[in-house]
A = this chain, B = another copy of it.
Amino acid sequence: MNKQWKLKARPVGEPTRENWEFEENDIPTIKAGEMLVKVLYVSLDPAMRGWLNDAKSYIEPVQIGAVMRAGTVGQVIDSQLDGFSKGDFVVGYDGVQQYSVSNGKGVHKVDPKLAPLSYYLGVLGMPGMTGYFGLIKSGEPKSGETVVISGAAGAVGGLVGQIAKIKGCRVVGIAGGKDKCQFLIDELGFDAAIDYKNENVKQALKQACPDGVDVFFDNVGGEILDDVLTRINFKARIVICGAISQYNNTTPVKGPSNYLSLLVNRARMEGIVVFDNIKEYPTAMQEIGGWIQSGQMKVKEHVVDGIETFPETLMMLFKGENFGKLILKVGDAE
């Protein structure tokens, strides 16, 4: 049988089990030009919350009754599609289900010998590409500058901070809880970490960023964005990668009250979406892969087992309960 999670009703505020429909259907059959993929790992990302809204965005909303969209790593178990053979491992958007029929569009083969399969959903996947291109192209960090990252212990944040360190920057992470903050410093080599759950972020930024903030890579929005805006330098760059603090709002998004700091400091705030860099993914993957091999980059994953847990596991992102890249394991390779 094929266990699937479908969107039942669009959430207002936090998505709960009531917004989802769990189904067990027959494993689908394929025809010419298709392949059957067994899903092994499902990527859970903050962006998924946006896909649930019926609003114009950078990607179509997930339709009511459709299998929830998600990035996946899977294994081909049957193929009538040129270029894909039984046993191949593939990354794609096969959704929150155990088996998927694919025509190969947007699907790439990956080599399990080069990296653990789950890495293709994290550091070598969408979060990795998001952080890499967002920091380098939009953040434009220069050696000696101070880079601040919110959601620093998440999939994107941890990578961004490590790249900024490689680029010679002072790196300050904002994360929730002592363990995460300690991890950023001890394991990922950040220069400082701010525990937003137990510290006054505005005050802590003063201490952690004695020379101000040149680049802010924001995954969180809300009060943290406003706090950082009070500390930015002349010609600072703010990369808007996300605003997880605002995604489940039932009231309007909190806009940054301190945005006029952009004017005072001739700074810019720029939004990024990973898909714009798709042609350059191979370059980024090669460079990140090199950093991992040389030990300059560490990878932290948070794997939860069992497709049945999907609604609650997804919510871990919004509660700040994941520690590293959140992944739902739904099957084993054959």
Q: A258 contacts the other chain (Cβ, under 8 Å)?
A: yes
Contact with B along A266-291 (1 / 0, CB 8 A): 11111111001000000000000000
Residue from B256, B264, B276 within 8 A of A259 (CB atoms): B256
For the complex formed, measure the closest distance between the CB of A12 and the CB atoms of chain B, giving whole angstroms: 17
A127: Cβ under 8 A from any B Cβ: no
In the complex, how many angstroms separate the beta carbon of A126 from the nearest chain B beta carbon? Answer: 15
Interface size, chain A (Cβ < 8 Å):
33
From B257, B261, B262, A270 is in contact (CB under 8 Å) with: B262
Q: Given B221, B252, B266, B276, which contacts A273 in the complex, CB threshold below 8 Å?
A: B266
Q: Smallest CB–CB gap between A209 and chain B, Å?
A: 15
Q: Which of A253, A256, A269 has the most CB of B within 10 A?
A: A269
Interface presence of A301 (CB below 8 A): no
Indicate if the CB atoms of A240 and B255 lie closer than 8 Å: no
Segment from A75-83, A241-249, A324-332 that makes contact with B: A241-249
Report if A263 contacts B (CB, 8 A).
yes
Is the pair A269, B259 in contact by a Cβ cutoff of 8 Å? Answer: yes
Chain B residues within 8 Å of A242, by CB: 263
- A57 contacts which chain B residues (CB < 8 A)? 264
Among A265, A270, A271, the one with the most B-chain Cβ atoms within 10 Å of its Cβ is A271
Within 8 A of B (CB), among A213-271: 221, 226, 240-243, 246, 252-271
Q: Is the beta-carbon distance between B276 and A271 smaller than 8 angstroms?
A: no
By beta carbon, the residue of chain B nearest A247 is B260
A interface, CB within 8 angstroms of B: 56-58, 221, 226, 240-243, 246, 252-273, 276
Q: List 23 A-B contacts (CB under 8 A).
A: A58-B263, A58-B265, A221-B260, A240-B259, A240-B262, A242-B263, A252-B257, A253-B258, A254-B255, A255-B255, A255-B256, A255-B257, A256-B259, A261-B271, A265-B271, A266-B271, A266-B276, A267-B270, A267-B271, A268-B268, A268-B271, A269-B269, A269-B270
Could you list 11 further interchain pairs (A-B, Cβ under 8 angstroms) beyond the known A253-B258, A266-B271, A268-B268?
A: A56-B264, A226-B255, A255-B255, A256-B259, A262-B270, A264-B271, A266-B273, A267-B270, A267-B271, A268-B270, A269-B269
